[in-house]
Amino acid sequence: MGSMTDGAQAHSSDSESLHALTNALHSLELASRRQYDMLAALFSHSPAAIAVQRLEDGALVDVNACWEQLTGYSWDEATRNTCVSLGFWPDLASCNAALDAVQAGATGVEIHFKTAQGQALLLQWRGSRMAIAGEDHVLVYLTDITAQRVAQEAVAHSEWALQQAVDALQGQLELFEHTEGLAQAGHWTVPQGQVRPRWSKGLYRLARIPETEDLGADVLLPDIHPEDALTYRAAREAMDGRLLEFRWKRRDQKVRWVRGRMHRFFRKDGSYVDYGVVQDFTEEARAKQVLQHKLDVIQRLTSRLPEMVFQFE
């Protein structure tokens, strides 16, 4: 009786162990199935174009829907080809070199690719090694960066064009400044809604005023000769571009002869800017005065000789 009891207990214990083992295996299968389903879902429904290829020969063993959409090749077409035969790489060595570069820290390798429909794309290729059933494979991610590169090139071209325009404008400004210096000229501007003028470097030089000085409204007027102030004020109010000449006392107390024009320029948006251009012609005015003085002397002399007729033009 004792032996039969011991045998029954042993059989019961084995049954329980087998049942526990069966449950454990079933749980493991369920976990493995869940993990496989999750990985399959991630692979199949991923928004990234993913492919799996053998490391040895580059043969494609699986691709997802996004990869098919990007390349234009179906799963059947892909799995009958290699990464070389589809045109991703010129040879397998180039593919392996890209894989080494990515594993060494590169964010990706840019490749030119033509889809099944003949569309040229610029792709970023990334790959990582993985083992499937004891065989080395490469998990490949493809990103279409064609539009991004076009946008980058457009931005780069715009920046280049802007820099060219800035350089050209800077060159024109320097040329204008040299021209003002040579011609002893200068200019000022007053945009609509402002009262303080903006002077050019040439005008600062003519006035003998430091460029750092804060200028008030119509700073020229107080230093204009009283006999010329009324003419200047009328031209300033009219802003019609009339030519005027006036005497102007500089900071060094020297009186200079200046000619200029003032005009109002209307922009396309309806706003306007007032500007004036002035030129120091003191030497010219003095030369005219000297010449006029000589002519007056000659006229006085010749007026005493009625038998001689002089004509001056």
Mean pLDDT of the chain: 85
- Which domains, ranges and CATH numbers included, belong to the chain? 46-144 (3.30.450.20), 173-300 (3.30.450.20)
Query: For the ranges 94-98, 112-116, 301-305, which has the lowest average pLDDT?
Result: 301-305
Beta pairing class for 185-191 and 272-280: antiparallel
Query: Where residue 312 falls among pLDDT bands split at 50, 70, 90?
Result: very low
- Are 247 and 257 contacting, i.e. CB atoms less than 8 angstroms apart? yes
For residue 59, give the DSSP letter: B
| Bridge partners for 51 per DSSP | 63, 140
Query: Where residue 97 falls among pLDDT bands split at 50, 70, 90?
Result: very high
Whether 60 has a pLDDT exceeding 70, the answer reads: yes
Distances (CA, A) of 146 to 141, 152, 153, 258, 291: 15, 10, 11, 62, 76
| Residue that wins the pLDDT comparison between 26 and 61 | 61
Q: What is the pLDDT of residue 157?
A: 94
Query: For the ranges 41-50, 81-90, 184-193, which has the lowest average pLDDT?
Result: 41-50
Whether 261 has a pLDDT exceeding 80, the answer reads: yes
Query: Where residue 45 falls among pLDDT bands split at 50, 70, 90?
Result: confident
Task: Determine the average pLDDT of the residues in 291-299.
Answer: 82
At 172-182, the pLDDT tens digits run: 888 888 888 88
